[in-house]
Amino acid sequence: MLKKERAAFILDTLHKLYPETPVPLDNKDNYTLLIAVLLSAQCTDERVNKVTPALFQLADNPFDMQHVPIDEIYQIVRPCGLAPQKSSAISTLSKILVDRFNGEVPSDLKGLESLPGVGHKTASVVMSQGFGYPAFPVDTHIHRLAQRWGLTKGKNVVQTERDLKMLFPKDRWNQLHLQIIFYGREFCSARGCDGRVCKICKTCYPNRKKPFIARKP
């Protein structure tokens, strides 16, 4: 199978499996989405969704959140890991949103990435899921699967994102990045598939003899 053939097969397979792609992180607007995505760094979506109701009961907008003591934020977000950094970032970015953006979440990558605790991946998720702007957020799971499926050499997440954007139609990026995540969780996890088990791996590489070891980002 050539790379373009693999990409076409993957696109078709994932669309049939996941015609609907609900946003995994519970949110009610772009601010609560931004906070939830920030908390999801090195943490499962399931755990974030258990933590955010208490946090958003405390404050669900930057105007209120800027006045919440960091220690109160810290106590709530502790289960998500990296709590000192995340609680500080939530407090500081809330102040910045009020001071510089009139309390609104910026609708461009540059503005988002200027906020503390918001890297390119987090900004891309907000652009995609919050604003509907075509983006292809690449996390460690997508980075791993893209290598297993022969869609990228996987030197780093930047290269992987670039390669995936070149392979797939722009109007499918927002849905596709979620479909890949869903498929990885269900059929092609880090331990559940070694590149020779799931349908996509077996179809793309039917003659693969050894376990595939992906480069870490």
139 labelled catalytic: yes
Which amino acid makes up residue 39?
Answer: L
| DSSP tag of 45 | H
From the candidates 110, 139, 163, 216, give the one annotated as an active-site residue: 139
- Chain-centroid distance, C-alpha 125: 6
Closest CA to 173 of 131, 135, 118, 116: 135
Q: What is d(CA 83, CA 113) in angstroms, rounded to the nearest whole number?
A: 20
Q: What are phi and psi of 150, to 5 degrees?
A: 70, 30
170 labelled catalytic: no
**CA dist list (Å): 85 to 34, 78, 206, 210:** 15, 10, 44, 40
Contact 79, 52 (CB under 8 A): no
From the candidates 60, 86, 121, 163, give the one annotated as an active-site residue: 121
Contact 183, 200 (CB under 8 A): yes
Residues designated catalytic: 121, 139
